[in-house]
Each structure stands twice: as structure tokens, then as C-alpha cells.
């Protein structure tokens, strides 16, 4: 069977900074992502695609708020499922367009991620979502709807929700079966729809699962060979934002852990990606990559003993080169 790579695309890869998020913009951005995936297919990889959905859920939450006087508002986890569906459709069509009939099949799965009700994140909601409110509105919603609200970077108040860790995926057997047939699978979009197990099955909970940690959990469950986290920079930088900033070409999981402990990777930027990379490699994966779409494929096929060139992003491996 072909080697398997799980590729995580940020929600900002589909709606980029400064864009309005029109249909045409999202279609064009999805096509750029599809080009990167098709390159991996041509290089012999079976690809599982995980996408973010932050901007899309935020837009949908604003639509819910504005139309609440006409249409009943829906729970957050339903918004997550809706964006999983529409982004899955978007990426599926883009892959067929770019692949031009060469792909054996593209399947998008609305995936449910099981979380633990005892996860500490539920007692400390920190993830801002949806529209901004003034303080009066925010306090009213906190009282009327039981929301946790907080100020977001001086721009106003927003709803804060929990971001628990995914424990497992309800549809993992279906994903595995499709991977074994070497199809392109789109799964765990937005981290998956968060659910908890109960006596009758599962029930949805209002939370947001980190997309990179979900991609790592999915990659480990599938025993994938590689994990690629696509971002908008070619390589991870040490001492980011300072005159001493320098790119990292390759580091071991232990080196990455030490850099993280030194505060090199803030929680709001590279932190989750580095954590996901470390967990994946320590769980048996061969390599985790953090880079942009253009360098993603080249970053996977580095020849042992040969120094990576400028077309390669940051690689996290279990042990260093001999």
C-alpha cells in the first residue's frame, strides 16, 4: 500500500487574510490547496485532508445572530457540521478539477470527534468565536444564554468556548477503509464535530477542537507515515519577531520540546502545530512537516544524508541525522 500522509489545512487557507470570503475567493484558494494535494498523489502518497473552519464558523455565527429574529439559532456544534459539509464539497470539487480524472476517488466525511466531559478545557473556555459585541450585549448574552464571554484583543467582546482534546473519531473505521483503497479522504474538518458518549450513543457539545491536534490524532490512529501542517510561512522561526529570527530546517522531537518549553512557540500561533508534531513523531510517525502549500510535497521526500534545500519546510523527526 502507498505511504499515507495526513495534511492539515488552516481555515485561513480557504479565506485568506484581507479577503471578504466570497464564493469566488474560496473556490480559487481551494484550488491552490488541491494543487498541493495532487502533487503528493503524483509522488506516491495516499492523502487524508483535514481542514480548519474558524473563519467559516465565525461567518455562520454572524449570519445566525443577524437573522435570529426570523430563523431559530442553531447550536455551535451544528455550525461545525455545516461547515464540514460545505468545505468538504468545496475541496472535493477543487480536487476533481485539478486532478482531471486521475484521482481514484475523493470522499468527504462529516466526522464526529469524541471528547471527554472531564477535559479541563470545559472549565476554562478560551476559544473566541463568532461576532463581536459591546460590553452591554456581551453581559446580556452571558445572562440570557449562559455564555462565557470575554474581551478579544481590545476589539470588543466575543463568546468563549472550550477547546477539548479529541479522544477518538466515531468514523475512524470508515476513514481507514477508504485509505486502504488509496482514495483521497477529507475528514475531521474543523477538528471534527465535538460529541460526548452517553448511554444512548453520542450527543453534540458546543466546543471547538484544534484542527492540528485533531489531524495528529487522526494520523496516529491511521498509523500514517507523515503529518503535514500547511500554514502561510515556509518554515518555523526561532526568536520570531526579533532581529535574531532564524528558520528551522529540521529538529528532533526532543529539540522541539525544549524550544517549546523556552517559550519559542506561543499558544496562539505555532504552539499547537509543534505540540501536534511532537505527539505524532513520538507516537510512531516518521516525520511531521510545518510549511506552506508550495513546499509541502518536497518536504516529504528528503533523501537521507542529503541536506534539505530551500524548497523544503520545517521537518520534525524522532532522531537527528547521523
Choose the catalytic residue: 190, 191, 273, 285. 273
- Catalytic residue status for 11: yes
Sign, Cα dihedral of 251, 257, 260, 262:
negative
Choose the catalytic residue: 11, 80, 189, 313. 11
Choose the catalytic residue: 3, 21, 127, 283. 127
Question: Which residues have CB under 8 Å from 146's CB, separation 6+?
Answer: none
- Catalytic residue status for 3: no
Choose the catalytic residue: 88, 211, 285, 313. 211
How many whole angstroms separate alpha carbon 227 and alpha carbon 142?
A: 39
- Catalytic residue status for 100: no
Distances (CA, A) of 164 to 35, 76, 215, 258, 287: 32, 14, 14, 24, 25
R_g over Cα of the chain: 20
Name the H helices within 157-249: 172-180, 211-221
Give which of 33, 10, 46 is closest to 272, Cα–Cα: 10
164 secondary structure, DSSP code: P
Question: In what helix (H) or strand (E) does residue 92 lie, and over which residues does it extend?
Answer: helix 76-99
How many whole angstroms separate alpha carbon 316 and alpha carbon 322?
A: 15
How many whole angstroms separate alpha carbon 312 and alpha carbon 309?
A: 6
Choose the catalytic residue: 12, 156, 204, 271. 12
Sign, Cα dihedral of 275, 278, 281, 283:
negative
Catalytically active residues are 11-12, 127, 211, 273
Amino acid at each position: 500500500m502507498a505511504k499515507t500522509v495526513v495534511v492539515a489545512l488552516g481555515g485561513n487557507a480557504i479565506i485568506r487574510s484581507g479577503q471578504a470570503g466570497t464564493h469566488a475567493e474560496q473556490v480559487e484558494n481551494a484550488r491552490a490547496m488541491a494543487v498541493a494535494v495532487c502533487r503528493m498523489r503524483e509522488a506516491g502518497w495516499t492523502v487524508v485532508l483535514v481542514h480548519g473552519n474558524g473563519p467559516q464558523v465565525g461567518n455562520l455565527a454572524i449570519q445566525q445572530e443577524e437573522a435570529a429574529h426570523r430563523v431559530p439559532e442553531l447550536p455551535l456544534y451544528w455550525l461545525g457540521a455545516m461547515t464540514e459539509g460545505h468545505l468538504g464539497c468545496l475541496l472535493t470539487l477543487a480536487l476533481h478539477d485539478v486532478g482531471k480524472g486521475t484521482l481514484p476517488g475523493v470522499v468527504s466525511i462529516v466526522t464526529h470527534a469524541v471528547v471527554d466531559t472531564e477535559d479541563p478545557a470545559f472549565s476554562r473556555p478560551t476559544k473566541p468565536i463568532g461576532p463581536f459585541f459591546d460590553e452591554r450585549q456581551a453581559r446580556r448574552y452571558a445572562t440570557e444564554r449562559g455564555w462565557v464571554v470575554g474581551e478579544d484583543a481590545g476589539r470588543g467582546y466575543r463568546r468563549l468556548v472550550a477547546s477539548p482534546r479529541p479522544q477518538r473519531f466515531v468514523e475512524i473505521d470508515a476513514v481507514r477503509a477508504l485509505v486502504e483503497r488509496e482514495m483521497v479522504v477529507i475528514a475531521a474538518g474543523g477538528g471534527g464535530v465535538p460529541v460526548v458518549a452517553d448511554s444512548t450513543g453520542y450527543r453534540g457539545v458546543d466546543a471547538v477542537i484544534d484542527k492540528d491536534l485533531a489531524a495528529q490524532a487522526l494520523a496516529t490512529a491511521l498509523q500514517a507515515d507523515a503529518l503535514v501542517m500547511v500554514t502561510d510561512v515556509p518554515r518555523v522561526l526561532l526568536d520570531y519577531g526579533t532581529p535574531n529570527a532564524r528558520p528551522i530546517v529540521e529538529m528532533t522531537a526532543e529539540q522541539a520540546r525544549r524550544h517549546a518549553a523556552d517559550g519559542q512557540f506561543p499558544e496562539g500561533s505555532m504552539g499547537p502545530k509543534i505540540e501536534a508534531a511532537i505527539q505524532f513523531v513520538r507516537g510512531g510517525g516518521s516525520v511531521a512537516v510545518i510549511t506552506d502549500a508550495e513546499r509541502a510535497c518536497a518536504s516529504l521526500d528528503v533523501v537521507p544524508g542529503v541536506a534539505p534545500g530551500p524548497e523544503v519546510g520545517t521537518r520534525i523527526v524522532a532522531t537527528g541525522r547521523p
